[in-house]
Amino acid sequence: MSIVHSRKQSSLLEHPAIYTDFYELTMAQGYFLAGRKDERACFDYFFRDLPFDGGYVVFAGLSDLIAVLDDFRFHEDELDYLSEQGFREEFLRYLRDFRLNIDVMAPREGEVVFPYSPILRVEGSIIETQLLETLILNILNFESLIATKASRMKYAAGERKVIDFGLRRAQGYGGIQASKAAIIGGADATSNTYSSFVHGTPASGTMAHSWIQSFEDELTSFRKYAEFYPDSCILLVDTYSTLESGVPNAITVAKEMEEKGHRLKGIRLDSGDLAYFARKARKQLDDAGLEYVKIAASNQLDERLIKSLISQHAPIDLFGVGTRLVTGYETPALDGVYKLAAINDEPKLKISENVEKTTLPGRKKVVRYRENNGRFHGDGIFLADNDDSTIIRHPFYPAKYTDITSFEAESLLHPVMKNGDLQVDLPSPSKSARYARERLEKLNPEHKRFENPHIYKVGLSEKLLHLRNRLTEKMK
């Protein structure tokens, strides 16, 4: 297991410009034919529901998104396809020379974010901002979902290691992003070699049951593995009988390794009652003087099972997590949306029967307030320009408010693209992971617990609230 530099920051997507819902293209042609191609639009990316019944989201996917945006253009074969789909020659000529000229504001990758708050703000022509909707949603929704799940597993595991083993049950090629997002969220390493190669994240893994079965007996299979991997050997002990065969054979091999000046790194449990087997195995190892041999456990683990195992004092040093990490499992999608906030600097809102689905109009910014101890107190959503509100109010119960004048404040959204030019270096997964860790430390524990986490305060500036109310009235 070692870290290498990322080989390829560009995207897997060979055809990013058509990685989109078909209607983005029909609408784009519509704007073009309506003579509106140079009109300006501002869209917000945000989500409404927290995944996993949790209290926060770890923002991820920014680096993959930027890599795609940096390379966004229509190629001839794509234009031929669009022509076959009935798009008009004049529009295809426009697309042939199309280059992004957008402004993008976003938090740093790894930021802790909350419902309703704009995460990405995208400004540009009505065509370019519309065309990017699906791409932005697809990448940010998924990577943020998995980074969040990983952060919960790491939170449960504490100082113990969490390793991503999920590729075999990941949702197809999304597995490459899942393993990267898992690292951003807090996983220590991944079994996903592709992701390790492309993203420079640490790779990990030793043996499957088939290795053991392919030898005449378990002891021989262990001996062979220890011979080839004297310094990174983790033996899988549950192929035949964990306590009667697997652990005793591992002890035999560990003793033989000691004679050659090596140390068995660990054993892995992959079935049965992990708390029971870990305790029994630990005792067998300790009785043999092998206190240094670690115990790894895997098998349908998630943050709640990890927490349960730790609360039972199961002596497990490393958790291998798979399906329940890389698919999000109980919440397999973040519900992020991309909504129009302004056209030609005129604020727009979409009303809904459900007041919580009414959007926030206008170009906006997000400010985070800190308590004296540095912890996050809450976030305020402001109009981007000339908003000097000193009070933020609850979005739906405006009688609840906070005076923010006494708090230390920081802006959450930073320039990522300006006129289509990148304003930042692409963050590496390890850098984003470090940032996520720092930020999660500043989030109070009541927002991180798994059962009924406390709701983090996100308020609207008085000025934004007035604008929303005024536009809502006008539409009625």
Query: Do β-strands 103-106 and 421-422 pair in parallel, antiparallel, or remain unpaired?
Result: unpaired
* Residue 342 near residue 44 (C-beta atoms within 8 A): no
- Please, is 460 exposed, middle or buried when counting C-beta atoms within 10 Å of its C-beta (0-12, 13-18, 19+)? buried
213 is a site residue for a copy of itself (CB under 8 A): yes
26 is a site residue for a copy of itself (CB under 8 A): yes
37 is a site residue for a copy of itself (CB under 8 A): no
Tell me the C-alpha distance between 222 and 252, whole Å. Answer: 9
User: What's the min distance (Å) between Cβ of 390 and a copy of itself?
Assistant: 31
Residue count of the chain: 476
* Residue 212 near residue 221 (C-beta atoms within 8 A): yes
What are residue 472's DSSP bridge partners? Answer: none
User: What's the min distance (Å) between Cβ of 349 and a copy of itself?
Assistant: 8
178 is a site residue for a copy of itself (CB under 8 A): yes
Return the structure tokens found at 58.
Answer: 């770890």
243 is a site residue for a copy of itself (CB under 8 A): no
| Residue 338 or 369 with smaller CB distance to a copy of itself | 338
Tell me which stretch binds a copy of itself (CB under 8 A): 321-329, 379-387, 404-412, 424-432: 321-329
* Residue 404 near residue 391 (C-beta atoms within 8 A): yes
**Binding-site string for a copy of itself from residue 363 to residue 392, where x marks contact by CB under 8 A and - marks none:** ------------------------------
137 is a site residue for a copy of itself (CB under 8 A): yes
What are residue 112's DSSP bridge partners? Answer: 58
Tell me which stretch binds a copy of itself (CB under 8 A): 301-309, 326-334, 372-380, 387-395: 326-334
| Contacts (CB under 8 A) with a copy of itself, residues 278-307 | none
| Contacts (CB under 8 A) with a copy of itself, residues 327-356 | 327-329, 332-335, 338-340, 343, 348, 350-353
157 is a site residue for a copy of itself (CB under 8 A): no
Is the dihedral angle over the CA atoms 269, 275, 281, 285 positive or is it negative?
positive
422 is a site residue for a copy of itself (CB under 8 A): no
Among 98, 114, 225, 319, binds a copy of itself (CB under 8 A): 225
Tell me which stretch binds a copy of itself (CB under 8 A): 106-114, 172-180, 309-317, 451-459: 172-180
125 is a site residue for a copy of itself (CB under 8 A): no
- Please, is 295 exposed, middle or buried when counting C-beta atoms within 10 Å of its C-beta (0-12, 13-18, 19+)? buried
429 is a site residue for a copy of itself (CB under 8 A): no
Instruction: Please choose, from the candidates 110, 204, 13, 11, the residue with its C-alpha nearest in 3D space to the C-alpha of residue 429.
Output: 110
Instruction: Please choose, from the candidates 62, 137, 31, the residue with its C-alpha nearest in 3D space to the C-alpha of residue 426.
Output: 62
Among 86, 372, 373, 406, binds a copy of itself (CB under 8 A): 86
249 is a site residue for a copy of itself (CB under 8 A): no
| Residue 70 or 227 with smaller CB distance to a copy of itself | 227
228 is a site residue for a copy of itself (CB under 8 A): yes
* Residue 26 near residue 131 (C-beta atoms within 8 A): no
Contacts (Cβ under 8 Å, ≥6 apart) of 189: 1, 161, 163, 164, 183, 201, 202, 203, 204
